[in-house]
Chains A and B, each alone.
Chain A
């Protein structure tokens, strides 16, 4: 448990529960379409590439590279987030294809480079492990 990290949670849906349960087992699960082999994030009841509903969950390797980042300097989520500032939000292009939004974990103030290799890092916040990213 990292006591310093804050996170706001939205209750999972029937679609997304397997993903968040996977995170608690330190697995980054992606849905794969059995018809067109498209791998996608986030969880849905149909393939966003072809509409097929034959979907399977598979663990991703957790590797990717940084597509973009922003160091946030304002507590948009409320005064409690003052303790998090500055923190860094990243877009990660996963090796399996999907682009994913996450938070970059690094010593305070350090930001990634665009194109830099990244690795998923699961951190417990409250009741949930979250898939953050850091330098690989």
Chain B
């Protein structure tokens, strides 16, 4: 069972404003996020001697860790750029930071991602306009598949078919995360959404509508880690990573295993078993919600609901603030902003420290974070505790 060292902890979390940030390139957005995380835990920027980031997708930029190092004026002894997909990238950054600190490569590490995905896209582009390749193009483009919506639509159609679920199950995810986003001053979506609003939103690729799709966002998020000993000496409240597991099964949608065999179930089983905890022990769930369907599949895979019963679980109120285990109190990728899932982790830190303001889950001590990159191509589950 994969173990994460208990001796390295998260002490700082920061996020930039999200939405449109005209005039800022990705390096400036990432630097802003680092500044926010450093201020959050009283670390001075020059103290950072480890830096791990994800390079931008909208305008690809190689060797982006040293780009950011130079901008910040650092002289770190460990740097790395990680791109495994979705919130699993954030988890892998954290994993590398833990390894680097526990093995003495650095003492204070920052994990950061941010870019100008919204204002940096080409003129006239709609939706997410990636300029990098995702793999599989030769077997997808000739048949009319481009981007991420259609792959998730194919999974969604299959999920609805296998479980007799309906678009109203998908809608629950959109409605709950929107209600939560209204409690977050740093959210792109500021208007309430009714079931009628959802059902009348434009169809993109059946069965997914506009409101099943996450935001395209400018913005950034960052996390700072150090040894538990150092954190306590500085009088900082540590947040621990109890466990972290991942599975990679494929890349392109045509190679996706059957729904029941997606990597999320195995990653979740490993993460919960490694922490000797289960879904019933979690007080808040930060589930990767690039599309509504991702959340239904993940709730089932992590045993929050029986297979196909995620819609009922949501309708029962279990995932709403005030319920058993609130889902994405910050509004998630669907209604706060899509910063690759970095803000799922910063939100987990805020919830576990009790600094989440109006959207605080009272007394939250344990959080589960899920990630899926590509089309459930890589799945990750992380259990966090304060």
Chain B residues, Cβ within 8 Å of A57: none
Chain B residues, Cβ within 8 Å of A132: 143
Chain B residues, Cβ within 8 Å of A89: 143-145, 150, 154, 205
**Interface presence of B155 (CB below 8 A):** yes
A42, A70, A76: most-surrounded residue (chain B CB, <10 A): A70
Q: Determine whether the beta carbon of A103 is less than 8 Å from that of B205.
A: no
Chain A residues, Cβ within 8 Å of B252: 101
Q: Determine whether the beta carbon of A7 is less than 8 Å from that of B154.
A: no
Q: If A67-B158, A70-B150 touch, does A10 touch B141 (CB 8 Å cutoff)? A: yes
Interface size class of chain A, counting residues whose CB lies under 8 Å from the partner chain: 35 or more
**Interface presence of B254 (CB below 8 A):** yes
CA distance A73 to B138 in the complex (A): 22
Output the least CB separation between B146 and chain A (Å).
4
**Interface presence of A4 (CB below 8 A):** no
CA distance A100 to B140 in the complex (A): 10
**Interface presence of B253 (CB below 8 A):** yes
Chain B residues, Cβ within 8 Å of A8: 141-142, 146
Q: Determine whether the beta carbon of A114 is less than 8 Å from that of B157.
A: yes
CB contacts under 8 Å to B, within A48-84, are 67-74, 76-77, 81, 84
Q: Determine whether the beta carbon of B145 is less than 8 Å from that of A101.
A: yes
**Interface presence of B204 (CB below 8 A):** yes
Map CB proximity to B onto A2-23 as digits: 1 under 8 Å, 0 otherwise: 0000111110110010000000
Chain B residues, Cβ within 8 Å of A117: none
Output the least CB separation between A116 and chain B (Å).
11
Q: If A7-B143, A74-B204, A103-B143 touch, does A13 touch B157 (CB 8 Å cutoff)? A: no
CA distance A104 to B207 in the complex (A): 16
Q: If A89-B145, A91-B253 touch, does A68 touch B157 (CB 8 Å cutoff)? A: yes
Interface size class of chain B, counting residues whose CB lies under 8 Å from the partner chain: 20 to 34
Which residue of the partner chain A has the closest CB to B253?
A: A101
CA distance A74 to B205 in the complex (A): 7
Q: Determine whether the beta carbon of A9 is less than 8 Å from that of B141.
A: yes
Which of B202, B206, B255, B256 contacts A70, CB < 8 Å?
A: B206
Total A-B pairs in contact (CB under 8 Å)? 102
CA distance A111 to B161 in the complex (A): 14
CA distance A10 to B137 in the complex (A): 7
Q: Determine whether the beta carbon of B146 is less than 8 Å from that of A99.
A: no
Q: Determine whether the beta carbon of A103 is less than 8 Å from that of B144.
A: yes
**Interface presence of B149 (CB below 8 A):** yes
Q: If A10-B138, A69-B154, A99-B254 touch, does A130 touch B144 (CB 8 Å cutoff)? A: no
Which residue of the partner chain B has the closest CB to A85?
A: B144
Which residue of the partner chain B has the closest CB to A130?
A: B142
CA distance A42 to B155 in the complex (A): 20
CB contacts under 8 Å to B, within A101-136, are 101-103, 111, 114, 125, 128, 130, 132
Map CB proximity to A onto B153-185 as digits: 1 under 8 Å, 0 otherwise: 111111001000000000000000000000000
CA distance A23 to B244 in the complex (A): 45
Q: Determine whether the beta carbon of A77 is less than 8 Å from that of B206.
A: no
Q: Determine whether the beta carbon of B141 is less than 8 Å from that of A77.
A: yes
Q: If A70-B205, A91-B253 touch, does A81 touch B144 (CB 8 Å cutoff)? A: yes
CB contacts under 8 Å to A, within B291-336, are none
Q: If A71-B206, A100-B254, A114-B161 touch, does A77 touch B144 (CB 8 Å cutoff)? A: yes
Q: Determine whether the beta carbon of B154 is less than 8 Å from that of A102.
A: no
Output the least CB separation between A81 and chain B (Å).
7
A-B contact pairs, 26 of them (CB 8 A): A10-B141, A10-B142, A12-B138, A42-B139, A68-B155, A68-B161, A69-B157, A70-B153, A70-B154, A70-B206, A70-B207, A71-B205, A72-B153, A72-B205, A73-B206, A74-B127, A74-B204, A74-B205, A84-B144, A89-B154, A91-B253, A91-B254, A103-B143, A103-B144, A114-B158, A125-B142
The 4 A-B pairs with the shortest beta carbon distances in the complex, nearest first, are: A70-B153, A101-B254, A68-B158, A10-B138
